Amino acid sequence: MEKDDVQLIRRILSGDDEAFTTLVGKYQKGVHALAWRRIGDFHFAEEITQDTFLQAYKNLATLKNPDQFAG
């Protein structure tokens, strides 16, 4: 993960919603592509992508090593 991801995560945890938008924008296409390949339904993959980022947002404070967010 790039150092800027760690900075984005710190900003998000400090209440900066714009930083979360930036983080989502960085990884959204890759997450969607992975879901689409796995399930074969474009629209359902969009829902999975949204759910994935919602769960990431809810649990971001429990991330022990921000360097591992991309994984």
Distance separating alpha carbons of residues 68 and 65, to the nearest angstrom: 6
pTM of the complete model: 0.84
pLDDT for the residue 2? 52
In a domain, 43, yes or no: yes
In a domain, 56, yes or no: yes
In a domain, 69, yes or no: no
In a domain, 70, yes or no: no
In a domain, 71, yes or no: no
In a domain, 24, yes or no: yes
pLDDT tens digits, residue range 8-64? 999 999 999 999 999 999 999 999 999 999 999 999 999 999 999 999 999 999 988
Distance separating alpha carbons of residues 46 and 65, to the nearest angstrom: 27
Range of the domain at 43: 3-64
CATH of the domain at 17: 1.10.1740.10
| 7 has a pLDDT exceeding 80 | yes
pLDDT for the residue 1? 44
How many domains does the chain contain in total? 1
